[in-house]
Structure 1
Amino acid sequence: MSANRYQQHFIVSWDQLHRDVRELCHQLVERDFKGIVAITRGGLIPAALIARELNLRLIDTVCIKSYDHMDQGGLDVMKGVDHDGDGWLLVDDLVDTGKTARKVREMLPKAHFATVYAKPEGRPLVDQFLTEVGQDCWIQFPWDMGVAYVEPLADRVRGEASGEDAS
């Protein structure tokens, strides 16, 4: 994966994610699902939020590990499920290149596949998504970020003006 691949950044806050998942649920609420299959790890949090909004209690996981730089994009299915997805909602946070989505589609061909965010390369593999982002966009999810102290601007400017180290 090239560092130059991502020309844009999209930062998703917890509040934004919750709003987006609720909006996606408005499109799903009329359907009758047996349960949810979350694709780990990115699909876990959206799946929990969707389960609450759709009042579903049966949640399973498909656990897939991808090897981007070690194994030229190989996939290792660490845990599957024992059905074809009929009547189930398959959930992930994002469909990107479609590599993981293709594998999960093979495993659960009858599932209804929904993601919160979709990129053009992977979009045809999902049944439903809320927001499309560019293929060159890096999505920064809230579970990958931490909260850190930020020095007040005035203190930083004064520190730089006096030649002090602002850090």
Structure 2
Amino acid sequence: MSHDAQPELHYLEYYEDFLAKVRVLSRKIRDGEWKPEFIIGVGRGGLVPAVYISHQLELPMLSIDHSSKVPGFADELLGKVAGMSAEGKRLLFVDDINDSGGTIEYIRQLLGDNGCDAQNLRFAVLINNTRSKAVAELYVDEIDRDEDKRWFVFPWESVGTREAIVDEARSVPERLG
């Protein structure tokens, strides 16, 4: 895709559809064998679904802001979270999409480097790319990024300007084909 080409934006802005996906994901979590003790929203995209899942399952929620890259709000908090898992707490990280797998891979690595017990860790997403380099154990919808080049625009993103959305999509050209 050339830098000037327009990405195919796919808006997921219907609240009812989003809520249905959150309910499906919550049901999978509730009915699964592995039971989390904390929901951890991965900022920015995972914060909104994490809040809903936290309420739906009546579990406490923590948040990290991986996307901001601001010291003190991501890596340092992940170090504390790793300690919780080492003490036996089961942690479910929630994000909007597992696309390239970079976020999940980064978080797993950092947690592992800080003594996390991997058995106490799971990831849940609304959309999972089968070609991702990382595993999300729980998801609602699945795509194959080799075939599906849409840029998903979640309800909380749809309030942004089209220019900002297109710029974000273009910042990851390998996902767009």
TM-score by length of 2: 0.66
Unaligned runs of 5+ in 1: 68-74, 148-167
Structure 2 letter corresponding to 1:121? R
Hey, what does 1:54 align to over in structure 2?
Answer: 57
Of residues 124, 143, 156, the one that matches 1:114 is 124
Q: 1:83 to 1:144 in 2, by over 3 A?
A: closer
Deviation of the 1:143 alpha carbon: 1.1
1:1-167 equivalences under 5 Å are: 3=3, 8-12=8-12, 13-30=14-31, 31-56=34-59, 58-65=60-67, 78-79=73-74, 80-81=77-78, 82-84=80-82, 85=85, 86-106=89-109, 107=111, 109=118, 110-122=120-132, 124-135=134-145, 136-146=149-159
Q: Deviations over 1:55-81 (max 9, x none)?
A: 11x2112221378xxxxxxx9784223
Deviation of the 1:124 alpha carbon: 4.2
- The 3-state SS of whatever aligns with 1:142 is coil
Q: 1:9 to 1:89 in 2, by over 3 A?
A: same
Q: 1:3 to 1:24 in 2, by over 3 A?
A: farther
Deviation of the 1:83 alpha carbon: 3.1
Q: Is the 8 A contact 2:131 2:144 kept in 1?
A: no
Which structure has greater helix proportion? 2
Deviation of the 1:6 alpha carbon: 7.9
Deviation of the 1:144 alpha carbon: 1.6
Distance in 2, Cα, partners of 1:143 & 1:38: 14
Alpha-carbon RMSD across the aligned residues, in angstroms, is: 2.9
Distance in 2, Cα, partners of 1:10 & 1:132: 15
- The 3-state SS of whatever aligns with 2:17 is helix
Distance in 1, Cα, partners of 2:72 & 2:4: 29
What is the number of residues matched between the two proteins? 139
Q: Deviations over 1:129-165 (max 9, x none)?
A: 1101242221011112239xxxxxxxxxxxxxxxxxx
Distance in 1, Cα, partners of 2:143 & 2:72: 27
Q: Is the 8 A contact 2:105 2:134 kept in 1?
A: no
Structure 1 letter corresponding to 2:142? E
Does 1 or 2 have the higher relative contact order (CA < 8 Å, sep 6+)?
2
Unaligned runs of 5+ in 2: 161-177
Distance in 2, Cα, partners of 1:6 & 1:133: 20
Distance in 1, Cα, partners of 2:129 & 2:71: 22
Which structure has greater strand proportion? 1
